Amino acid sequence: MPKFFQEQHQMLILGKVTPEQLIEQKLFRHFHSKFTPNHDVLQKILPDESIEITVIVGTWCTDCHHHVGKFIALMEAKSKLLWKVNYIAVDRKKQDPDGLAAAYEFTKVPTFIIKKEGREVGRIEEKPMVSLEVDLFSIIKRA
């Protein structure tokens, strides 16, 4: 259950969150609604229920608004992937009230941690090297 905190002029969400709760936030919604995924790359990504992605996000972070908003749109566009996706929202110290994010070693947000069959196979930290679609496809292909 996420916890909501007011920080200066911004509402922070901390803990386990849903994509819907993130998209309710104006800046996530902006990037989510403006994103058109690369369908040529998406067609190459096959459904695989052994894939799990943990997204560590800061609702205060501009890179998170940009890339996590797009990631949510990407997951909606490719809804039949069968991937399990978890979102953990952290504060500026990279912590959450329930200590969920502490299970992962990370220094940047957003961090997308990709696992296959329970084993970490790659990460996207802060921003993709090429694009979310290309980076995800590359990580999963070599797994």
Q: Which residue has the higher pLDDT, 65 or 80?
A: 65
Q: How many residues are present in the chain?
A: 143
CATH number, position 55: 3.40.30.10
Domain span holding position 132: 3-142
Average pLDDT value for residue range 117-133: 97
What per-residue confidence (pLDDT) applies to 19?
97
List, in sequence order, every residue forming a beta bridge with 88; answer none if it has no partner. 16, 56
50-60: average pLDDT = 96
pLDDT range class, residue 3, cuts 50, 70, 90: confident
Average pLDDT over residues 39-66: 93
Three-state DSSP class for 53? strand
41 in helix, strand or coil?
A: helix
Q: Rounded to an integer, what distance in angstroms lies between the CA atom of residue 134 and that of residue 81? A: 15
Q: How many domains, the chain?
A: 1
Predicted confidence band of residue 32 (pLDDT cuts 50, 70, 90): very high
